[in-house]
Chains A and B, each alone.
Chain A
Amino acid sequence: MGQDVKITLDPTLEERFVNKCKSLEMDVEEVVSKLIEQFVEGQSVLEAQEFADGLTVREYLDLPEEEKDALWSKWEKVAEQQVGYIVKDAKPDALPPR
């Protein structure tokens, strides 16, 4: 069995959370479970999480545009090396764009 999880919220935040669940006509536990599931599944992130190359999400978002461009170009080169140049021969009846 896993460790019991107990969450202590700031009272104001807790009140807002409960009120929002009520307005959505949703059960509090159901909402918490859903949010945790999204976090565990990687569908939501925290600013302190690593994004890539040792950069956190926050650090990446704060980079100037040119540095983001440079990073994506670097990652493309890395991807080219890791994927290799794999040529697939299209079938003779392959569909061109219509």
Chain B
Amino acid sequence: MRCLLDKGVIRRATEGWIRQSVGEPLLAEQQQAVTILTTCPFELCVSAELYHILTHIVEAPFSGRALDQVIVLWPTRYQKRWARRLRWFGFTREDAKILAYGSFSTDENREVLGVNFVITCDRALRDKYGLDFPRIRHEFAAMTENLRLPYSNASLPAVLTLEEFMA
């Protein structure tokens, strides 16, 4: 099973590790994010851009530990096209991008395609995705049916909040 962690989850984990380091208690979502990154048995993935933030933009105490755990995903063909179509449903640019990563992304060795779950702290994103899912699925099927392998095997991820994923 592969899980793509969105920016909100990585942000909470970052804040959680910082709070641990300076001796402050963690908020619930920070604790959940840290727990996922330290104990989740599934393959944890982040986008290439998010990986860049962790390695080049913020100075976080956990970087080494967290980065050891994650697989960096890169956009594949059709990621941009699918993100554009998701915008038709009213998703923000950022949300459409992460959802499209969920279907059209691959690892450094180009051996995987997409993920099972997108994990987010954004309940509104999860709710909207669930509400629009029948129409999204229809649009996705129309887009992928004539693609070549492996893209014809692409699938839609489930979107879960941190809390749901931990339950």
* A residues at B contact (CB < 8 Å): 41-47, 49-52, 57-58, 60-61, 68, 72-73, 75-76, 78-80, 82-83, 85-98
Contact = CB atoms under 8 A, between A and B. Distances in A.
Contacts of B48: 83, 86
Contacts of A80: 49
A94 B2 CA distance: 14
Contacts of B21: 43-45
Contact of B111 (A68, A75, A82, A91): A91
Given A45-B21, A50-B59, A88 B154 contact: no
A79 B52 contact: yes
B110 A91 contact: yes
A44 B116 CA distance: 33
B57 A88 contact: no
5 contacts: A43-B61, A57-B18, A76-B94, A79-B56, A88-B106
B15, B63, B150 — most chain A CB neighbours (10 Å): B150
Given A85-B75, A97-B157, A76 B113 contact: no
A5 B157 CA distance: 54
Interface residues of B, number: 50
Given A87-B79, A90-B151, A94-B113, 19 more contacts: A42-B61, A43-B65, A49-B59, A51-B58, A52-B57, A57-B22, A72-B11, A73-B7, A73-B94, A75-B53, A76-B7, A76-B49, A79-B52, A85-B80, A88-B108, A89-B110, A90-B112, A91-B110, A95-B111
A96 B50 CA distance: 22
A44 B61 contact: yes
B11 A83 contact: no
B60 interface: yes
B41 interface: no
Contacts of B22: 45-47, 57-58, 61
B114 A75 contact: no
A73 to B, nearest CB: 7
A2 B1 CA distance: 49
